[in-house]
Structure 1
Amino acid sequence: MVESNDTNNRSSLLLLLVLVFFCSPWQTVSALKKVRTLPGFDGPLPFSLETGYLEVDEEKGVEFFYYFIESESNPEEDPLMLWLTGGPGCSGFSGLVFEIGPLSFDLQGYRDGLPSLFYKADTWTKVSNVIFVDSPVGTGFSYSRTGDGYQTSDSQTVHQLATFLYKWLDKHPKFKLNPLYICGDSYGGKIIPILTLEIAIAKESNKAPFNLKGYLAGNPVTGTSYDDNSKVPFAHGTGLISDELYESIKESCAGQFTNPSNIQCANCLNAMDTVTKDISTNHILEASCEFHSPRPGYIRTKRGEANYYDEVPLFKSGLPLECKESRYLLSTFWANNETVRYALGIRKGTVAHWHRCNSSDLPYTNDIPSSLPYHLKVTNKGYPALIYSGDHDFYIPHVGTQDWIRSLNFSIVDDWRPWYVGGQVAGFTRMYSNNLTFATVKGGGHTAPEYKPKECLEMLRRWLSGVSL
Structure 2
Amino acid sequence: MPCTSAFTPIHTFMLMVWVPLLISWAWNTQGAPEYAEVKEFPGFDGQLPSKHFAGYITVGNQPHKRHLYYYFATSERNPSKDAVLLWINGGPACSGLDALMHQHGPLKIIDDVTTRRGPVKLISNPFSWSQIANIIYVDSPAGTGYSYADSDGDYITNDTKTVSDLYEFTLKFFAEYPEFLPNPLYLAGCSYSGVIVPVLAQEIVIGNEAGNNLNLNFKGYALGNAAIDIDIENNGRVPFAHRMGLISDELYEDLTSSCRGNYWKNTDPDCLKNLEAFHVNIEGINTDHVLCLPCKFELGLCLKPNCYDSDQKEYSLPQNSEYDSIHCHIFNTNQKRLLDLETTRQTLHAVPVKISGEWVRCANTKLNYQRDIFSLIPYHLNLTSKGYRAFIYCGDHDMIIPYTATMEWIKALNYSVIKGWHPWFVDGSIVGYNVQYDHNLLFATFKGAGHTVSQYMPREALIAYQRWIDGAGSL
Amino acid at match of 1:118: I
Change (3 A) 1:214 1:32: farther
Deviates more, 1:175-184 or 1:10-19: 10-19
Q: Which residue is equivalent to 1:49? A: 52
Amino acid at match of 2:320: D
Change (3 A) 1:358 1:2: farther
Q: Which residue is equivalent to 2:342? A: 338
Q: How does 1:75-86 map to 2 (within 5 A)?
A: 75-86=79-90
Deviates more, 1:133-142 or 1:365-374: 365-374
Instruction: State the shift of 1:4 in Å.
Output: 5.6
Instruction: State the shift of 1:231 in Å.
Output: 0.2
Instruction: State the shift of 1:325 in Å.
Output: 5.5
How far apart are the structure 2 equivalents of 1:447 and 1:416?
22
Q: Which residue is equivalent to 1:286? A: 292
Specify the SS of the correspondent of 1:130: strand
Deviates more, 1:354-363 or 1:163-172: 354-363
Amino acid at match of 2:52: L
Amino acid at match of 2:122: L
How far apart are the structure 2 equivalents of 1:98 and 1:196?
25
Instruction: State the shift of 1:13 in Å.
Output: 4.6
How far apart are the structure 2 equivalents of 1:332 and 1:150?
21
Q: Which residue is equivalent to 2:309? A: none
Change (3 A) 1:466 1:123: same
Deviations 1:24-69 (A, max 9, x none): 59x9xx9953222222212332332211001011231101000100
Change (3 A) 1:255 1:194: same
Q: How does 1:249-328 map to 2 (within 5 A)?
A: 249-290=255-296, 303-304=316-317, 308-310=318-320, 320-321=325-326, 323=327, 326-328=330-332
Q: Is residue 243 of structure 1 aligned with residue 249 of structure 2?
A: yes
TM-score, scaled relative to structure 1? 0.90
Deviates more, 1:9-18 or 1:203-212: 9-18
Aligned residue among 217, 222, 233 for 2:223: 217
Change (3 A) 1:20 1:94: farther
Aligned residue among 201, 204, 215 for 2:206: 201
Q: Which runs of 5+ in 2 are unaligned?
A: 299-313
Instruction: State the shift of 1:166 in Å.
Output: 0.8
Q: Is residue 11 of structure 1 aligned with residue 46 of structure 2?
A: no
How far apart are the structure 1 equivalents of 2:286 and 2:380?
29
Q: Is residue 63 of structure 1 aligned with residue 89 of structure 2?
A: no
Specify the SS of the correspondent of 2:466: helix
Structure 1 vs Structure 2 CA RMSD: 2.5
Instruction: State the shift of 1:103 in Å.
Output: 1.6
Deviations 1:389-435 (A, max 9, x none): 10010100000000000011111111110011111111110011111
Bigger share in strand: 1
Q: Is the 8 A contact 1:67 1:131 kept in 2?
A: yes
Q: Matched residues, percent identical? A: 38
Q: Which residue is equivalent to 2:413? A: 408
Deviates more, 1:422-431 or 1:261-270: 261-270
How far apart are the structure 1 equivalents of 2:35 and 2:227?
32
How far apart are the structure 2 equivalents of 1:379 and 1:291?
36
Q: Is the 8 A contact 1:20 1:163 kept in 2?
A: no
Instruction: State the shift of 1:336 in Å.
Output: 1.4
Q: Is residue 454 of structure 1 aligned with residue 455 of structure 2?
A: no
Q: How does 1:24-173 map to 2 (within 5 A)?
A: 33-59=36-62, 60-106=64-110, 107-110=112-115, 113-173=118-178
Amino acid at match of 1:334: L
Residues paired across the two proteins, number = 449
Q: Which residue is equivalent to 1:357? A: 362
Specify the SS of the correspondent of 1:310: coil
Deviations 1:300-322 (A, max 9, x none): x9754xxx32288xxxxx9745x
Amino acid at match of 2:165: Q
Q: Is the 8 A contact 1:302 1:310 kept in 2?
A: no
How far apart are the structure 2 equivalents of 1:265 and 1:259?
10
